Amino acid sequence: MEKLKNIPQITDAEWLVMKVLWEESPLGSCDIIKKLNGTTDWKPKTIKTLLSRLVAKKALSYDIARRGYSYYPLVSEDECAKEESKSFLGRVFNGSLNLFVKNFIENEELSIEEIEELKKLLEHK
């Protein structure tokens, strides 16, 4: 499996923080905490720890503003999703896209529309 260059591995918890910043950035930690309120039961300190980890992983960076740090993503959601997909395929299906698709099709209830969409995607490829 070819790894995309410099795309950090992001945990499930970090994904939630990144999604907030992919939606809107730059944001201060207080704004991020407010946006995650109701989505999680995390304490502000937990969110600040996640922000620090994401900065260390080079997924986020920040500017120092009048009211503290202002965070913004260094990687796109699309880049991270591609890397996560490759990582998942490698871990669960030994890198085999065919095995993944076969397993998915055999174990999911697909509508006629979804089947047609999959056919179009495959034909286009």
Q: How confident is the model over 40-66, as pLDDT tens digits? A: 999 999 999 999 999 999 999 999 988
Does residue 4 register a pLDDT over 60?
A: no
Residue 109 has pLDDT above 70, yes or no: yes
More confident residue, 65 or 116: 116
Total number of domains constituting the chain: 2
Is the same domain home to 24 and 48?
yes
Contact 1, 16 (CB under 8 A): no
Check residue 38 and give left, alpha or beta (phi > 0: left; psi -120 to 50: alpha): left
CA distance 55 to 49: 10
Report yes or no on 58 lying in a domain.
yes
Q: What is the domain extent for residue 81?
A: 77-124
What are the Cα distances from residue 35, in Å, to 5, 17, 38, 82, 117?
Answer: 30, 9, 8, 25, 34
Q: For residue 83, what pLDDT is reported?
A: 87
Same domain, yes or no: 18 and 51: yes
Token digits for 52? 């620090």
